[in-house]
Amino acid sequence: MSADLGDRLKSTRKRRGLSQRELASNSGVSLSLIRKLEQGDRASVRLETLRKLAIALRTRTSTLQGGHADAEYADAETSDIWEPVRRALAGLDANDTIDEQPTNAGVHAAYEALMPMIDEHRYGELSAVLPALLRDADALTDREGRAIRARLLSMTGWMLTQNRQFDIAAMTLDQAIDAAPERGIAVGAVNVLVWSALRQGRLDIARELAVKWADDIEPRFSRATVSQLALWGRLWLYVANVGVRDNSPGETEDALSLARAAADRIGREVLYDPNPNRLFGPVTVAQITGECAVIAEQPSKTLAIAESLPTAVLSPTAAGRLRHRLDVANAHTQLRQYGEAMHTLQQLRTAAPEWLAQQRYARDILATIVQQRRTLTDDMRELAELVRLEY
């Protein structure tokens, strides 16, 4: 990756007529890092850094990236928690004797019983109960059973992605798409695949997949169901997310406009899947608009959006809602309002500690705060331990 990235960076910089020092001054990226990148001495670089360089060079982030990822895979502790689920997905550890044949009704009821654990992000408990349920779902073969299995696989892929198990998540989501007896269920899994690619920094893959499926399922607004509008609008929110990271503000605005049209047509927040994290509506669109703003280093806009949102929202602990709070913390950090940022992080720690532990974004925000401090409070140290920040 490093040599390829270095060649791309050097070539683009020279075409723009900039010296390394001028690029460093224009981008805010250190001269030493630019030199290391161009010489191939740096093994990897964060997507945020590439975006700064892309802005200074007036090009797309993905042009410099060349298709390479910016993924942070699970640590050993997290990986161990999910080992039983990976084995179940691979068809290992299956019982040779089954006392009672699984039924559609029984598996569906067990799937629905998972929702409180999903809503509260109790990953340890979920990883313990999922293997047996996945094995039972494998026995369902009729159309209804395939729908149940596809939804379960889609939810499992979402959970694996949330816990940074990207490779097995992709295979699981492919299985969900294959098993789905109808397009609406398949698109739910596609949405997770797009999000997984985006979380890994695979901008071109995320954009291509989202646009392709959005075009394929484009609804007729006069006849579309709420679910159809939500699935379509959610895909455009991912395109907006790609655009802002890829230094393509026009693409971001166009995608947000399409998503906003779908949300306005629905008129309220809805769950388009039993998974309580799968939300879409005007509030979700506003929150993603705020996320795009903070990525574009417009923190005041993000905070203004946050202030305008209703205090009572559907599924307040949904991952998207929690992510929005991280955007708020980041906006405060960009404005050097470190006390407010820490307060928001502490709220997230109380609300969803297992979710927060899997967020590199939280670690990046806390790292910026810690750099401004001579000494750390006990709360800061505990939060740093939770998100695995070395300081």
Grade residue 97 by pLDDT with cuts at 50, 70 and 90.
low
**pLDDT tens digit string along 261-293?**
999 999 999 999 889 999 999 999 999 999 999
Predicted local confidence at residue 82, as pLDDT: 96
Domain-embedded: residue 194: no
Looking up residue 33, the CATH number of its domain turns out to be 1.10.260.40
Predicted local confidence at residue 68, as pLDDT: 76
Mean pLDDT of 72-93: 91
Domain-embedded: residue 58: yes
Q: Is the sign of the CA dihedral 26, 54, 41, 388 positive or negative?
A: positive
Q: How many other C-beta atoms can be found within 10 angstroms of the C-beta atom of residue 94?
A: 13
Domain-embedded: residue 142: yes
Q: Which of 59-68, 217-226, 348-357 has the lowest mean pLDDT?
A: 59-68
Grade residue 1 by pLDDT with cuts at 50, 70 and 90.
very low
Q: Which of 59-63, 206-210, 314-318 has the lowest mean pLDDT?
A: 314-318
Boundary residue ending a domain (45, 65, 85): 65
Q: How many residues does the chain have?
A: 391
**pLDDT tens digit string along 6-24?**
899 999 999 999 999 999 9
Boundary residue ending a domain (246, 280, 314): 280
| DSSP one-letter code for 390 | -
* Percent of all residues in the chain with a pLDDT value above 90, rounded to a whole number: 86
Domain-embedded: residue 190: no
CB 193 within 8 A of CB 227: no
Listed in sequence order, the residues at least 6 apart from 94 whose beta carbon sits closer than 8 Å to its beta carbon are 135
Strands (E) in the chain, as ranges, are: 270-271, 279-280
Grade residue 217 by pLDDT with cuts at 50, 70 and 90.
very high
Whole-angstrom distance, CA of residue 230 vs CA of residue 263: 7
Listed in sequence order, the residues at least 6 apart from 359 whose beta carbon sits closer than 8 Å to its beta carbon are 323, 326, 387
The DSSP code sequence of 38-95 is: HHT--S---HHHHHHHHHHHTS-HHHHHTT-----PPPHHHHHHTHHHHHHHTT-S--
Mean pLDDT of 217-223: 94
Residue 58 shares a structural domain with residue 82: no
Residue 172 shares a structural domain with residue 81: yes
Residue 348 shares a structural domain with residue 370: yes
Boundary residue ending a domain (34, 49, 65): 65
Residue ranges making up the domain that contains 207: 202-280
Mean pLDDT of 327-352: 97
Supply the mean pLDDT for the chain.
Answer: 93
Residue type, 181: P
Residue 161 shares a structural domain with residue 212: no
Residue 303 shares a structural domain with residue 346: yes
**Tokens of residue 68, six digits:** 């390479």
Q: Residue 249's Cα: distance from chain center in Å?
A: 20
**Tokens of residue 116, six digits:** 């409180």
Predicted local confidence at residue 330, as pLDDT: 98
Domain-embedded: residue 379: yes
CB 27 within 8 A of CB 55: yes
Query: What is the total count of domains within the chain?
Result: 4
Whether pTM exceeds 0.85: yes
Grade residue 353 by pLDDT with cuts at 50, 70 and 90.
very high
Predicted local confidence at residue 3, as pLDDT: 56
Domain-embedded: residue 30: yes
Residue 170 shares a structural domain with residue 208: no
Residue 2 pLDDT > 60: no
Phi/psi region, residue 270 (left: phi>0; alpha: psi -120 to 50; beta: rest), is: beta
Longest dimension (CA), the chain: 73
Predicted local confidence at residue 71, as pLDDT: 86
Residue 325 shares a structural domain with residue 229: no
Grade residue 346 by pLDDT with cuts at 50, 70 and 90.
very high
Residue 324 shares a structural domain with residue 363: yes
Q: Is 309 exposed, middle or buried (0-12, 13-18, 19+ CB in 10 A)?
A: middle
Domain-embedded: residue 187: no
Residue 102 shares a structural domain with residue 28: no
**pLDDT tens digit string along 117-141?**
999 999 999 999 999 999 999 999 9
Residue 162 shares a structural domain with residue 81: yes
Q: Buried b / exposed e across 56-90, counting CB within 10 Å, b at 16+?
A: bbebbbbbbbeebbbbeebeeebeebbebbbebbe
CB 170 within 8 A of CB 158: no
